[in-house]
Structure formats: C-alpha cells, structure tokens
Amino acid sequence: MKFPKVYSLDEIANLLNCEFIGDKNFQVLGMNEIHVVEPGDIVFVDHPKYYDKALQSAATIVLINKKVDCPEGKALLISDDPFRDFNTLTKHFKPFQFANVAIASSAQIGEGTVIQPNSFVGNHVTIGKNCLIHSNVSIYDHTVIGDNVIIHAGTILGADAFYYKKRPEGFDQLISGGRVVIEDNVGIGALCTIDKGVTGDTTIGAGTKLDNQVHVGHDTVIGKKCLIASQTGIAGCVIIEDEVTLWGQVGTTSGITIGAKAVVMGQTGVTKSVEGGKSYFGTPIEESREKLKQLANIKKIPEILNKLK
C-alpha cells in the first residue's frame, strides 16, 4: 500500500509516538507485508526469529520491537508493539469509510454493466464494461473489476484477511488495507469469498473461472485461465500460476506456489509447492500416478496377510 504522498521518517515516528534510528528526513513511501515490500516501504517484525529476514528485505524502513544495528541505507522505527502500530498506520492511511447507499457515488461502473437488485458496491470500486453482477453480491471498497466479468449471487469480494496475533486477552486482528483485483473475462460462481490483501492485492487473473463456494485467502495471486471447482479453499499468500486446474474440495496451506498447467485432483491437500505440468492427488500431496499405485498396493495387504498366515 502506497501513501498518498511522501512522508519523512520523523513524521511517521510522531504518528506512532515511537523512537526512530536514521535520518529524520528519510523518505517513507508506503507499507507492505514482507513478501511484497519495495524500497520506501515499511515492514513490521515482532519476533527475533524473523529479524534478519525483515532487516535484509527490500523494505527500507523496519518497524521493530528491539534496538538493533541498522543496515546501511535503511531506517528503523522502534516500537514496543509493531503489530499494533502497523494497524495504527493502516487505520490512518486506509480508514473505514461508511456507506449509506447500495452503490457508492465514488464507484465507477463501465458501459453495459448490469448490477442486479440487492447488491452492494462500495466506495472507490471500479467495475469495467459488460459485466453482470447478480443479486446479493457484496463488493467492498477499492475493489477493481475488469471487463466481461460475471459474478453470481451471494459472492463477497474484499472481506478482511484471516490474520490474527494471539494475546493473553484473545486474538488481535491485523487490519486489512489492501484490495481485490479481478481481471477481464473472469467468472465467479455463487457464494464465493475472496479476501482483500493486508496491504497489497488479492488477484484473479484474466479468463479464470471459479465454481460455487470457493474461498480465496488474502494476497493470493491466481493466474490466467485457471479452473477452480466447488468447495476449494485457498489460503493466503498462495501463487497459482496460469492454466492450473483445482478440482473439488482441494485445500492449500499458505505461502506456496502451484506451477503452471498443474492439475490437482479432488480432495487433495496441497501441503507444499508443486511443479507445473503434472497431475497431483492425496494428502500429503503427491503425483497422482504414484499416489494411486500406493492405494492399489494398500488394497493388497489383506491378501498378503492371508498368505503369511
């Protein structure tokens, strides 16, 4: 997420009421999670296990809960609770905006697009040409939808990321300030849920088709011309490359990559990254031919036991 203008390090430190290490005029351009940071971004880290990863990332401002040596060309914001202060920045730069009409006045809707009754289109949403939005669809603020997109009834675009920090009093949510981006010619079935990014975009590539009741987690990027069948659950920060097929009830862990033109058979648990151009099955996931051989061999166990007797 980029800020509306360039801020100085001391301006951000004053906003957070925290110390800083570095030139007070050091430029701050935005904030992002570690997997999408760029120079000028703030990244937060609150566990020693991840200090080095954050300090050596592309981010040039690190919001951290300990005074450490500052890498050359970077700056530090010293906070007793970086998680809390990252939320403070999100609320400041991307505050919740109340809506009191079904289609916000700031929404931009292209020529030929039809929006059926009882749908909600939030603030600063952009919808392209010749789209069909069926009834009871909720499109949260800042969502971007391309041309020729069909979205069926009950689908929700832009709900918050499932991202929490456990505290003694309960779970503290990391506030989402990102977007959902739906490219041209995408089809989305009924009752799908696509969460917005924490600071970046959750993206569905051009020509991809989602069946009913598919969930897509925050910051996930789905490529072009993918097919995703019903009851599939895709975790956050997953990369699904072009022309992948996921059959029904597939589930994935977070932070993995599924290679281009892979086919994942129904009820598979994608527990790790997998290469493209192959077929997969089972939990834990394996190439389908190998997995089916294993299942066939398991069926032979009673016969082998009888022979041993």
CA atoms of 279 and 73, how far apart (whole Å): 46
Residues 6+ apart with CB under 8 A from 133: 113, 114, 115, 116, 119, 121, 127, 139, 151
Q: Domains of the chain (ranges plus CATH)?
A: 2-93 (3.40.1390.10), 108-292 (2.160.10.10)
CB 278 within 8 A of CB 291: no
Residue 22 confidence class, pLDDT cut points 50, 70, 90: very high
pLDDT, residue 307, reads 85
**Average pLDDT of the chain, as a whole number:** 96
pLDDT, residue 300, reads 86
pLDDT, residue 129, reads 98
Residues 6+ apart with CB under 8 A from 80: 18, 65
Query: Given CA atoms 88, 197, 1, 255 in this order, what sign does their dihedral have?
Result: positive
Catalytic residue among 134, 152, 215, 218: 218
Q: Is the pLDDT of residue 192 over 90?
A: yes
Q: Which two tokens stand for residue 31?
A: 């904030």
Q: What is the pLDDT of residues 280-305, one digit of tens each?
A: 999 999 999 888 888 888 888 888 88
* CB count in 10 Å sphere of residue 34: 17
pLDDT, residue 266, reads 96
Residue 265 confidence class, pLDDT cut points 50, 70, 90: very high
pTM for the whole structure: 0.93
DSSP state, 42? E
DSSP secondary structure of 235-276: -TT-EE-TT-EE-TT-EE-TT-EE-TT-EE-TT-EE-S-B-S
Q: What is the pLDDT of residues 215-248, one digit of tens each?
A: 999 999 999 999 999 999 999 999 999 999 999 9
Residue 15 confidence class, pLDDT cut points 50, 70, 90: very high
Query: Given CA atoms 8, 12, 15, 20 in this order, what sign does their dihedral have?
Result: negative
C-alpha closest to that of 206 among 226, 230, 224: 224
pLDDT, residue 90, reads 97
pLDDT, residue 99, reads 93
35 assigned to active site? no
C-alpha closest to that of 21 among 58, 55, 57: 55
Quick one: what percent of the chain has pLDDT higher than 90? Answer: 93
Q: What is the pLDDT of residues 23-80, one digit of tens each?
A: 999 999 999 999 899 999 999 999 999 999 999 999 999 999 999 999 999 999 999 9
pLDDT, residue 213, reads 98
CB 31 within 8 A of CB 198: no
